[in-house]
Structures are given as structure tokens and as C-alpha cells.
A and B are shown apart, each in its own frame.
Chain A
Amino acid sequence: MLKAFELIRPGDLAEAVAAVADGAIPLAGGTDLLVRMKKGIIAPKKIVDLSGLKELREIKEDEENIILGSLVTHGDVVNSELTNKYLSLLVQGCRTVGSPQIRNTGTLGGNIINASPAADSVPPLVALGAKVVLSSVNGEREMKIEEFLVGPGKTLKRPDELLTGIVVKKMKPEERCLYRKLGQRKALAISIASVAVKFGFDPVTKRCTNPAIAFGAVGPVVKRAVELERLLEQRILDQQTIKEISLKAREFCDPISDIRASAEYRREMCCSLLYEALYELTC
């Protein structure tokens, strides 16, 4: 049962942004917000239902980028030709979110705003260097997602801002990528740990270029593992090298213990998942 609240149904984006400025909590897909309301974690007085804003559900491209509206669902990402062509890493991440029902309703914007370290679309977005677009009555601003996320449940979104879009650079055809998620079961799982890996790879020389790595659920925020990326840059990825580099992954995480796993296991899993990803991408 949901506690009583006032509902605002905006006719356009401007009205939605105005409602947010007025203190209304945005309702995107609802898969997380409604659960938190039912559990009594939050009790919003005003809710602005964004579901009528068709323009926030579009996936577009320009020369360099894919531009996703914040209401694009995980299912939209999985099914879109554009994302499958240019953002395979994000598609893989979105495919592991919750269940088909959750993917059909839950949005990319919601997944980002929750700022859960275990959000499955986030490590791919961080690894891909995505930017978020924030709108307010005063206009728009863009920010790198990695800077935007500052702690569990915390972002740099100002109270009067609405997340309206995500801009992601298109991946290059020669780039290889993998999102590996470890959950307690094979579906409908919350990540114990996950890794998003992307790099350019020459199958003949096995040389790695421009690597990007981001771990999920092993620290307060999802961030790039720049030290590991530096170790991989320009390296020939033979078995010994990927083992050595993977073993270092435990140094670049800051996990906690909870009902799903201990911190020590999560730490070890950074090494294991990175190794498995590198193995699968290079062998």
C-alpha cells in the first residue's frame, strides 16, 4: 500500500521541471520508487509522473554520440538497433537488470539517479564515459556520470533539476567489450560484484588500446579503475599478463559486507571477474 500523495501530471517537459523545482519527486518507471514507498523508506508528499513525456523515451544519434532520453527503459536499450550497433556494453549491462518486467518498466534515468553501487547499467555507462543531461527551469547542464555519482544514493543533482538524458560516445567497431555480473542466482539478482570492460584489441598482436574498466557493487560509487586501465594500455594480453593485472584488481575497490556477500569475497571477485572478462575477450 502506498501512502497518500499529491500527483502532478505534466503536459510537457517545462511543466515537469517546474514541478520538480516545486519539490515534487519524479516518477520515471517506478520500479524502485514504488518499492521504497511501499517499504516506508520514503513518503513523498508530491509526485510528478513523467510517463506522458514521450520525448524523454527516444534514442537518437549524432555523428559521435548516442543520445538516450532518461525514460528509455532497459528493455528499450536491449531492443534498439542503435544501441546494439554502437553501445554493446550498455546493452549487455541492461540485459542483466532485474527481470523482463523490470526491464520493460525501469528506466535508465531511474537506474542512474538511484545511485546504487549495484545498478547494472551504471558500470557500462561509466566505462563508456557517458554524460548525464540535467534540466531545470534555468536551463540544461551536462556532467560526466562518474562525477555525477558521489555516494550510495547520492548524486550532484540539484533539488530543482531533472535528469533528462544520457549522452554516450559510440563505440568503435574494433573495440571489444564485456559486462560480467555475479549475482546470487542467474536471473532476478542484485549484483554481488560486476565489471564492465572495454578496449581496442588487435587479434593478431593481441595488443590492448584505450582500455576502460568499471566495477559495480564493490565500492560506494561506480568509478573507472584507472590504475588497472594504465596497466593494460598498450600491453600484449597473453595469459600471464591478464592474470597478473587481474590480481591487482583487489587493490582498487572498497567493498562492504552485506547479506549477499562479504567484503573479502567481493574484493576477490574483482580479480576473478576481470580475469574472466579478459579471458573471454582475448582467448
Chain B
Amino acid sequence: MSEFKWVGKAYPRVDGYDKATGMAKYVTDRFFPNMLWGAVLRSRYPHALIKGIDTSRAEASKGVVAVLTHKDVPGLNAFGIINQDQPVLCKDKVRYLGDSIALVLAESKECAYSALDLIEVDYEPLPVVSDMEDALKTNIKIHEKGNIIEHVRITKGDVEKGFREADLIVEETYYTPRQMHTFLETEGGVATIDQDGNITLFVGSQYPNRDIIQIARSLNYPMEKIRVIAHYLGGGFGGKDEITAQILLALGTLKTGRPVKIVWNREESLIAGQKRLPMKITLKTGVTKDGKLLANKARIIADNGPYTCLGSAIMKLAVEHVSGPYYVPHTDLEGFSVYTNNCIGSAFRGFGATQATFAIECQLDLISKKIGIDPLELRLKNALRDYQSANLGHIPSPSVGIADTLETLKNHDLWKNKGYYLKTDKPYLKRGIGLACSHQGCGLGSFFPDYGAATIILLPGGRFALKIGCPDLGQGNGTAFVMIASEVLCCNPEDIDLEIGDTRSTPDSGSTSASRTTYTGGRAIIQAGNKMKANLFAEASRMLGVSPDSLELRPHCVAVKDSDLKVTYAEIAERLSKENRSLECYARFDWPTADLEFKEALGLPHFIYSYISEMALVEVNVLTGEVRVLKAVVSPDAGRIINRQGLEGQAEGGTVMGMGYALMEEIRQVDGHYMNKDLSTYIIPTAKDAPEIETVPVEKLEASGPFGAKGIGEAVCNPITPAIINAIRNALGINITKIPATPEDIYFMAKNKFDLLRS
């Protein structure tokens, strides 16, 4: 029997009914009377000076109400969470094809988009910086300060000593692609303004409270007159963390006094939207002949595109994670984040750990092959243990579950009976099994304020309102919040009205990102719940005439211990109402941080990590290079599981997303121009591509977490990519260092080994 009534159960989503019936109004589903449509003119060149912008013909076009340019931006014509280096509307320079130059506001979508062709922009094209290594060397500057956004180097021990002591040194360079979030709901929303100048946005966002700061700064407008609502959202995955359409929506409604809707079409989303940034990762790893990791030296360079967004922080996370969840005594880790004229690189589930995981986990399989040690045993031998120093020299919170997840895989039938699973009945099909581990720092890391907050209100009838700011992008944190509150308040999830992601009515609870919301929101809810509990005890003690110490919570009521005497929440609420009183409890929770901080690499390191191991069974057709992922077994350690169904959903979704990254997904650019334009040239896995997925969780409890929980939303997409690549290595004996590994790549790599037609 579980000690919990709700925590750990598989509980269906609280918003399932609204979503299954089509009743849920997504931010882009909102229509308002008298609403205008906005369309954005984007750049014709990846890099050019703007010599002039003439909007007169567009302004005269049928149905057009206004055409806004940089001149119309009242405040700072720039935004960015880290560096404000991205223009709201470009004035004198464009730096990628997605740059916004003008906003057309018109009576219909058709009028708005048609008028874009009538805006005349006089460009002077500049040479394009499209290669990240070139960006370091060239004298073509994308921004005045140069092309390096940030450079960090962090060392631990003495890496050269480690190499001297090593029996084997393996060096390899890995390349990762630009991946698109491909949320089904593209960027956009609706903005309205009332007669008092209050602006309200329904918009795709992962942090509405931070959006307000950026909107207010660019509009030179009071923050308290701006409200952002991010609910419901059709996916985020990091791609809605930085500003997308928010400032233009607010500007449009401010300038016209009418509701404005902007929804990027799929091509705009592909061209202008943020992406997982490509990295080139060179590793030099030293190991003893019995498989003990001694030293890891890394050089990481990240193609951030033309603006910082969250890119430099992502590069730093890659640095932090590039030695894997292992104990390595000597490390020397260096990273560069550079500007190019490619698509913007920014947050994407995994946030740099994904790229790093691909590199180190392929590296470990290379090592395992070279020294002849089983890849699982190699990882187990080096797996980080509680109280060991991690790769930046810090001691993570002692909830390090990586070894447990590896043991889980080791005991799984797929690993134990490999021989059986590797058989095929056709000469052209070869199977392989591969595995990989990963970890993911939860939260924003050292230095940055990182907190969660929640409000709980007792409602008439004994129900509760639960208010929390961090939006539910779809992953189900809202349902986890309700389950946690139900556990604390001893009620059913149906008795809780969740309100989420609205800057007017919900407390700022930080961003929905960084695997942080279940942990931080959960803790805030527990604290608010405990306050509520104390208040309920006080009221009940007064109503029952007993001491608060003699009371306990039972379902929907406060009762006297070992007695039938009780008062229901509904009765307490009624009593309070009669007395003109109410119960509202707010609590804020601040993250614990690591024992180390790097002044030259703010944000590093993290203190709490989730851990994960995953293995994949693949079947390769050597005639074509096609890969079928038949099965994936994933063992996540997210600490205490709050919602079993939610955890599995994350593990399954992350697995298929990471599979796409391994095998098919890439925004391809040549000289800043895009080779993909739509979802038939940028492809993600369909139901027929997805493997059977089994989730076998490990619960290494995190003492500071809600009931012992950590975050898992990101780690789930990390290990599957190298697990698949390692499985292909296992099947064919080829060393893949660049993803996506397309059938064509695999075919040519394997051709000489398996030339069936010539044998």
C-alpha cells in the first residue's frame, strides 16, 4: 500500500475533457469582434543593411489599417532575456531571414499578407557568416561587438595528468543538427486593449511574467497595464520561452486600439522561430585499461544564429553536461557561443545537455569497443555516486540515481537476452542494441533567482482554488499540481479548480522550463497547502471547541483524532462567509543551490539533477540504410513519481522526439537560406516510425523536492539519440559522429561492409 492517496497514481489529465471534446480554447483560437490580423514582413537576405523602408503602397492597400516599422516602437527597439540584441522591428540591419521589418495590420488575414508584397525595402546585401568556425575567424561582424557571444572554460583537477595516466585516449568530433520544436500550435496569439489602456495578451508563452517586462520595455508602457495569459498552449518545448509574437501583438493593439491577432504560419515558424542550436563538440577522453574514466577535455562551439536569446546559457549547459553523469577526476571544458546568419538557436528541451549527451555517450561506446568492455558495465563502473564531485567539481544533491537506472536496464529482458532479440529472418536486415545515459540539471542553476509560488483559496462548498503562474505547455504540470494539492489538502483532484499561466490572477512562479515546475511549483503548493491546513485547523478548533493539536485532516473535513467529531471544508467555508472572511494562503519556495558558483559562467552549476538511462533495439536494412527502432526501454530517475501517467507520457514523447533528432530531423541551411520550408521537408516521426516504449522508473528521492520529486521533462529526450546511434554501431560496426543519421548516410557508411549484391 502506498503511503499516498494521489501521489504516484496514474491520474488522467485535469484538462482532458476540454481537450478531447475540442472545447479547450487555445491562445490562437481566440477571436474578438473588430479584430485585426497582423502579418510580419521578414527579411529577403540573411545579412544586409537596410537603406530604406517604404510602406506607402502597403498602407494604401485594401483593408490595411496600419503598417508599423521601427519608427513606431516607442521604447527599446530590442529584446532578449540575456542580451537585448534582437530588434522588435529592424531599423538599419537584418541578420537572418526571419528578421521582422514591418508589421501590417489589416481587416483580414488575406489583406494583411497580401500587403506584405507592397512594402519596399532597399537592402544592401552583406557577406553571410554561415559556418560557426568561420564566425570565430572572420572579420565580418554580425553585431558590432563581434561574433563571440560568450566563451567559458572550466577545469577540474589536472587534465594533462589524467591523460598521462590513461591507458587509452580517444579523440572524436561530434556534430548535431538544428532541430525544430514542431509544436503543433505555431507561435502567436491575440492582444486586446480596453478604454483605460489595459493590454491583454493571449499568447504562446512559457513565462508570462517575464514577457510583461520585455513588452513594457519596448512599448515604454507601465507593466501593471499589461496582462499575459498563456493558456491553453499547443506545445512549447522551449521554443516559446523567449519572445516570439508578444511585443508585436501588444504594439499592434496599442497603435490601433483594436484587437490584433498574429499567428505565424508553418513556414514562418520554421524560418523565424527559435531552434535547438547546432553544436560541434570535440572530445578527448582518457581511460584506464579496465575502463575507469580519468580525464575529459571538451571543446564545444555552438551556432547561435543572429541573436543571443538563451543560446549562451545553452552552451554553458552543454559544458556542464558533456562529461556525462560520471565521476571523472580531471576535466577541461571549453565552450564558445557564436553569432551566425543562420536561424536563431535557443531553448529546446534538454537545453544543451541533449547535444552534450550525444557526444559523450557515443564517445563511451567508442571507448567500450576499443578496450573491449561491455558498454553497460563501462557506464556502471563510472556512474556518479552520492557525494562524489561532479564534472565541474561541485557535489550535487545526494539523489544521484544514475547507477540505479543502469541496473534497471541490466536486469531487463532486452539486455539479458540480447541474442534472442538480435535475430532476423532476412539477410538484408541487421539488428543492434545500444544504450546511453544522461542527466539534466533541474532549475536555472546558481546565481539566478529561481523560485516557485502558489496560492490556495478555500471556496464555497469546500472546494479549493489553486493558482500558479508557470503555464502548462501540455506536459501536464497542471495535473501534477492538482494531485500534490489534493494530497496535502486531503481532497479529490476534482475538488480543485486550477488556474494557471495568467499574470493577473496567478502568482509569478517562474518559467515553465529547465525541468523546474513540478519541483518548484510542487514545493510552493505544499507550503501553501500546509498554511491552509493550519488555518483549517484553527477554524475547526474554534468551531468544534477543541485544541488544534487534537485535529487531523480526513477526506474533505477536519476531524478530531480517534473520534467521529468533524467539520467539513464546506462547513468551514460557509462559516467564514457568514463572518465576511475568507482563507487564502500564498507561499513561495526558493531553490537550494550548489556549493560552488562560477563568476565567469553564471548559472553553472546545478545542484539537483534528474538521471536517466535508455536502451534501444534497432533493425537496419543494409540495402537501403533505413533504420527501424523496434523497442526502447527507458529508466528515468525523477525522484518521487507524482503522476505515473504523466511520467510515462514524458518518457514516451521524449523518446520519439530524440529518435527524430537521431534519424531524420534537421533544418538545413546554405548561406543562411533554408532548404526546408514545410513539414514535408522538415520531417518528424509518425505513429508508424515510433517504437514500442517501456518505462521502468527508478525513484531516488530528492529530500528537498515535493514528496521527493525532481524534474524530468527534459532528460527524457536526451539518451535515446545516442542509444539509437550506439545500437546502429552495434548492428553494423560503423562509427556515426553526425546526426541525423539518415538512411543515405548509413547506407554509404555500411556499404563496403555489407555489399550484399556483390557477395
Within 8 A of A (CB), among B737-754: 742-744, 747-748, 751
Contact yes or no, A187 B689, CB < 8 A? yes
Q: Which residues of B contact A1 (CB under 8 A)?
A: 109-110, 113
CA distance A259 to B109 in the complex (A): 31
Chain A 251-283 against B: per-residue CB contact (8 Å), 1 yes, 0 no? 000000001111001001101110110010000
Our pick among A186, A243, A269, A275 for the contact of B689 (Cβ within 8 Å) is A186
Give the CA-CA distance A262 to B668 in the complex, in Å: 14
Binds A, one of B361-369, B676-684, B706-714: B676-684
Residue of B664, B687, B756 near A243 (CB, 8 A) is B756
B109, B428, B628: the one contacting A279 at CB < 8 Å is: B428
Question: How far is A182 from B742 in the complex, measured between Cα atoms in Å?
Answer: 12
Cβ of B626 within 8 Å of any chain A Cβ, yes or no, is: yes
The contact size tier of chain A is 20 to 34
B686:A187 contact, CB within 8 angstroms: yes
What B residues does A265 contact at CB under 8 A? 744, 747-748
B20 touches A (CB below 8 Å): no
B748: chain A residues at CB < 8 Å are 265
A188 to B660, CA, bound (A): 14
Q: Determine which of A243, A246, A269 lies in contact with B624 in the assembled complex, contact meaning CB atoms within 8 Å.
A: A269
A42 at the interface (CB under 8 A from B): no
- B686 contacts A188, C-beta separation under 8 Å: yes
CB proximity to B under 8 Å, residues A149-206 = 182, 184-190, 192
With A1-B110, A182-B743: A272-B681 Cβ-Cβ less than 8 Å: no
Q: Which residues of A contact B744 (CB under 8 A)?
A: 261-262, 265
**Chain B: CB-nearest residue to A190:** B680
B594 within 8 A of A: no
Q: With contacts A247-B757, A272-B624 known, is A186 near B688, CB below 8 A?
A: yes
B63 in the interface, Cβ–Cβ < 8 Å? Answer: no
State whether B686 touches A186 (Cβ < 8 A): yes
B223 interface contact, C-beta 8 A: no
> Which residues of chain A are within 8 angstroms of B676 by Cβ–Cβ distance?
259
674-708 of chain B: CB within 8 A of chain A = 675-676, 680-681, 683, 685-689
| B262 CB to nearest A CB, Å | 15
Contact of B686 among A185, A192, A259, A276 (CB under 8 A): A185
By the criterion CB–CB under 8 Å, are A185 and B623 in contact?
no
A1-40: contact bitstring with B at CB < 8 Å (1 yes, 0 no)? 1000000000000000000000000000000000000000
| B621: A residues at CB distance < 8 A | 276
If A189-B683, A190-B680, A259-B668 touch, whether A271 touches B757 (CB-CB below 8 Å) is yes
In the bound assembly, the distance between CA atoms of A279 and B622 in angstroms comes to 14
B578 at the interface (CB under 8 A from A): no
Asked if residues B747 and A268 are in contact (CB atoms below 8 Å), the reply is yes
Chain A residues with Cβ below 8 Å from B426 are 279
B581 interface contact, C-beta 8 A: no
Establish whether residues A182 and B110, one from each chain, have CB atoms under 8 Å apart when the complex forms: no
* B599 contacts the other chain (CB 8 A): no
- Closest residue of A by beta carbon distance from B109: A1
Shortest Cβ distance from A3 into chain B, in angstroms? 8
Contacts of B680 in A (CB 8 A): 188, 190
B683 near A276: Cβ-Cβ < 8 Å: no
CA distance A262 to B623 in the complex (A): 16
Question: What is the bound-complex CA distance between A271 and B623, given in angstroms?
Answer: 9
Residue contact B681 to A273, C-beta cutoff 8 Å: no
**CA of A272 to CA of B113 in the docked complex: distance in angstroms?**
46
B71 at the interface (CB under 8 A from A): no
How far apart sit A185 and B744, CA to CA, in the bound complex (Å)? 12
Chain B residues touching A, majority SS = loop
Inter-chain contact A182/B113, CB cutoff 8 Å: no
B658 to chain A minimum Cβ distance, whole angstroms, is: 15
Query: Does B137 sit at the interface, judged by CB under 8 A?
Result: no
B145 at the interface (CB under 8 A from A): no
Report A-chain residues with C-beta under 8 Å of the C-beta of B668: 259
Which of A185, A190, A243, A275 has the most C-beta atoms of chain B within 10 angstroms of its own C-beta?
Answer: A185
Nearest chain-B residue to A268 (Cβ)? B747
Known contacts A1-B110, A265-B744, A265-B748; A272/B757 CB under 8 A: yes
* B686: A residues at CB distance < 8 A: 185-188
Minimal beta-carbon separation of B684 from chain A (angstroms) = 8
Q: How far is the CA of A283 from the CA of B756 in the complex (A)?
A: 15
Task: Select from chain B the residue with minimum beta-carbon distance to A243.
Answer: B757
Q: Contacts of A268 on B, CB cut-off 8 Å?
A: 747, 751
Smallest CB gap from A1: residue in B: B110
User: Could you tell me if B623 and A275 are in contact, using CB atoms closer than 8 angstroms?
Assistant: yes
Nearest-neighbor residue (CB-CB) of B745 within chain A: A265
| A275 engages B757 (CB within 8 Å) | yes
Distance in angstroms from A106 CB to nearest chain B CB is: 14
Docked pose: A273 CA to B625 CA in angstroms: 11
Chain A residue with minimal CB distance to B744?
A265
**Which A residues touch B758, using CB under 8 A?**
243, 247
Q: How far is the CA of A189 from the CA of B79 in the complex (A)?
A: 39
Chain A residue contacts of B742, Cβ below 8 A: 184
A273, B757: Cβ atoms under 8 Å? no
Contacts of A182 in B (CB 8 A): 624, 626, 743
In Å, the complex CA distance between A16 and B422 comes to 58
Q: How far is the CA of A279 from the CA of B757 in the complex (A)?
A: 11
CB of A130 to closest CB in B, whole Å: 27
Measured in the bound complex, the distance between the Cα atoms of B757 and A247 in whole Å is: 7
CA distance A261 to B676 in the complex (A): 13
- Bound complex: CA A184 to CA B683 (Å): 8
A158 to chain B, nearest CB (A): 31
How many Å from the CB of A67 to the closest CB on chain B? 32
Closest CB in chain A relative to B346 CB, distance in Å? 24
Report chain B residues within 8 Å CB of A246: 757
Smallest CB–CB gap between A188 and chain B, Å? Answer: 5
Chain B residues contacting A260 (CB-CB under 8 Å) are 681
| Given known A-B contacts A243-B756, A265-B748, A185 and B109 have beta carbons under 8 A apart | no
CB-nearest residue of chain A relative to B759? A243
Given A184-B742, A268-B747; A275-B109 close (CB under 8 Å): no
Q: Which residue of A lies closest to B110 (CB)?
A: A1
Q: Is the CB of B623 within 8 A of A276?
A: yes
Q: Which partner residue on chain A sits nearest B676 by CB separation?
A: A259
Q: Which of B427, B664, B676, B686 has the most CB of A within 10 A?
A: B686
Give B674 Cβ to nearest chain A Cβ, in Å: 10
For B679, give the chain A residue with the smallest CB separation.
A188
Chain B residue at minimal CB-CB distance from A186: B688
Evaluate whether A276 and B681 lie within 8 angstroms (CB atoms) in the complex, with A246-B757, A265-B748 already known: no
A188 to B621, CA, bound (A): 20
CA distance A188 to B690 in the complex (A): 13
What residue of chain A has the Cβ atom nearest to residue B621's Cβ?
A276
Given A265-B747, A268-B747, A272-B623, also A185-B664 (CB < 8 A): yes
What is the CA–CA distance of A9 and B287 in the complex, to the nearest angstrom?
Answer: 75
| Contact of B689 with A185 in the complex, beta carbons under 8 Å | yes
- Per-position binary interface string of chain B over residues 613-638, scored 1 when its CB falls under 8 Å from any chain A CB and 0 otherwise: 00000000101101010000000000
Give the residues in chain B near A243, CB-CB below 8 Å.
756-758
Q: How far is the CA of A186 from the CA of B758 in the complex (A)?
A: 27
B749 to chain A, nearest CB (A): 12
Asked if A276 and B685 make an inter-chain contact with CB atoms under 8 angstroms apart, the answer reads: no
Query: Which residues of B are in contact with A by a Cβ distance under 8 Å?
Result: 109-110, 113, 426-428, 621, 623-624, 626, 628, 664, 668, 675-676, 680-681, 683, 685-689, 742-744, 747-748, 751, 756-758
Q: Could you name 10 residue pairs across A and B whose Cβ atoms are closer than 8 Å? A: A182-B743, A184-B664, A187-B687, A259-B675, A261-B744, A265-B744, A271-B757, A275-B757, A276-B623, A279-B428
| 7 further contact pairs, Cβ within 8 A, besides A186-B686, A243-B757, A269-B624 | A184-B743, A190-B680, A247-B758, A262-B744, A265-B744, A272-B747, A279-B426
6 A-B pairs with the lowest CB-CB distances in the bound complex, closest first: A272-B623, A186-B688, A187-B688, A265-B744, A187-B686, A243-B757
